[in-house]
A and B are shown apart, each in its own frame.
Chain A
Amino acid sequence: MSVKFAMLGILAEKNLHGYELKSSFDEKVGEFWSLNYGQIYSTLDRLEKEDLVTHDRQAQDRRPDKKIYSITGKGRTELEEWLSTPVHKVRALRDEFFIKLVFMDRKDPGPILDLIEKQKAHYLKQMNRLTNRKVSLKKRPEHADSLTAELLMDAGLFHAEADIKWLTLCASKIKATMGENT
């Protein structure tokens, strides 16, 4: 799964300790993915067991040693393989909403149509936040990771747009088949 490879990707650029790794992760993909320290360290443990990552100890004054993590040769090979393989699984879109749709009231389309409108408004607001971040990012293009950040935000925007289109279609088909009682 991708958290593993995101972390390998970060370590392929630079050796880091756990705290720095989390900061870098947040900066690169934090907009879509939040990880706590526990998840970072348990993933690092797993990567070490698989021989993809290793660590050095750095002594610190009056504090426990700091572990500096680095990627192994095997880690690099797996990362490169992963990077060049297309993604097969279609994103599990709208899963929770879909369940609500399955259990909607067949006689009264009102509640589900309301829910669809609320869901759409929610996506629009989310898209507006992403767009505003993108616009302000454009104003300081010197920032090293601004292109990847922008491309990720674009992906988020295109997905949200597709969701809104689908929801609009849902509403119009539900109205057409269940009658215009709204």
Chain B
Amino acid sequence: MIEIRNAGKKYLQGAREVHALRNVSLRIKSGEFLSIMGPSGSGKSTLLNLIGGLDQPTSGEIFMDGRPLHGISDDELTLIRRRRVGFIFQFFNLLPILTAVENVCLPLLLEGIPFTRIKPKAVLLLEQMGLGERTEHRPEQLSGGEMQRVAIARALITEPAVLLADEPTGNLDSHTSEEIFLLLSNLNEKGQTIVMVTHDSKAAAYGTRVITLKDGALAEDVSLGGAPS
């Protein structure tokens, strides 16, 4: 579903060149729940951003469903990112002035689809996240775990081919984190492809495969057993 061939990413930090990624090749199959691990600075977020079309590689190729994500125009990339990819982040990135349901609708509102047409689906997603009673709350009125569940609903509103998560529970306690991972694992069981960056092997254990990056290169690739029965 996603294929990365010899992808590299260099950044210029002043006069210095930083190799954030070196020659990474990886195939992600539909229905996988892949975790990306590795030390700080090893290139995990960089790789996730390339997969999600937030950024382009400086060398190599990336394909999503056979279509290239490299060497295309920014507009094309934006379209793929909006339609095919859902993102969740460590700091939730919700808009503070919007209610939960408005935040969930946002990706489609930005496409010009009217709120009334999106709202029922957004409410349904929030209900699935256990937030049926919280749809009209603003982020400041929600706990961290609730905010992250709103963010998951927002990521799902476009029915993305892949859900990308960058340390989604980096700011949550163990119990709250576990609720988030259970949600992700249920989504994956229903067929949602997920790629998640994490430092927590307890989180990675919910997935089907774990890769480890070191100094920007792919160091390990471990396939875990089956999905939950």
Would you call A128 and B220 a contact (CB within 8 A)? Answer: no
Picked from B205, B227, B229, the residue with its CB within 8 Å of the CB of A130 is B205
Q: Is the Cβ of B182 less than 8 Å from the Cβ of A161? A: no
* B side interface size, CB within 8 A: 19
Task: Return the chain B residue nearest A172 by Cβ.
Answer: B39
Q: From known contacts A135-B182, A138-B182, infer whether A125 and B222 are also in contact, taking CB-CB under 8 Å.
A: yes
Q: Indicate if A39 sits at the interface (CB-CB under 8 A).
A: no
Q: Shortest beta-carbon distance, A136 to chain B, in Å?
A: 5
What range describes how many residues of A lie at the interface?
20 to 34
Bound-complex Cα distance A165 to B226 (A): 24
Q: How far is the CA of A175 from the CA of B202 in the complex (A)?
A: 25
With a cutoff of 8 Å between Cβ atoms, the chain A residues found around residue B182 in the complex are: 135, 138
Q: Are A124 and B201 in contact (CB under 8 A)?
A: yes
Interface flags for A140-182 (1: CB within 8 Å of B; 0: not) read: 0000000000000000011011001100100010000000000
B14 beta carbon closer than 8 Å to chain A: no
Contact A123-B201, Cβ < 8 Å, known A131-B206, A135-B182: yes
A127 near B: Cβ within 8 Å? yes
**B204 interface residue (CB < 8 Å to A):** yes
> Which has the most chain A C-beta neighbours within 10 Å: B185, B222, B226?
B222
Residues in B172-224 with C-beta less than 8 Å from chain A = 182, 185, 200-202, 204-207, 210, 220, 222, 224
Nearest CB in chain B to that of A128: its residue:
B224
Q: How far is the CA of A110 from the CA of B96 in the complex (A)?
A: 51
> Bound complex: CA of A123 vs CA of B185, how far in Å?
19
Q: Is A35 an interface residue (CB 8 A)?
A: no
B222 pairs with A121, CB closer than 8 A: yes
Q: Among residues 42 to 63 in chain B, which have CB atoms less than 8 Å away from a CB atom of chain A?
A: none
Q: Which residue of B lies closest to A150 (CB)?
A: B178
CA distance A131 to B205 in the complex (A): 6
Q: When the two chains form their complex, are residues A124 and B202 in contact, meaning their CB atoms are under 8 A apart?
A: no
Q: List the B residue with the shortest CB-CB distance to A137.
A: B228
Pair B224/A135 contact, Cβ less than 8 Å: no
Contacts of A165 in B (CB 8 A): 201
Q: Is A77 an interface residue (CB 8 A)?
A: no
Chain B residues with CB under 8 Å of chain A are 39, 182, 185, 200-202, 204-207, 210, 220, 222, 224-229
The 4 residue pairs across chains A and B that have the minimum distance between CB atoms: A127-B205, A128-B224, A135-B228, A131-B205
Q: A125-B224, A127-B201, A136-B228 are in contact. List 4 more A-B contacts (CB 8 A).
A: A117-B220, A120-B220, A132-B226, A132-B229
Q: List 18 A-B contacts (CB under 8 A).
A: A121-B220, A121-B222, A124-B210, A124-B224, A125-B222, A127-B201, A128-B205, A128-B206, A128-B224, A129-B225, A131-B205, A132-B227, A132-B229, A135-B182, A136-B228, A157-B202, A160-B201, A161-B200
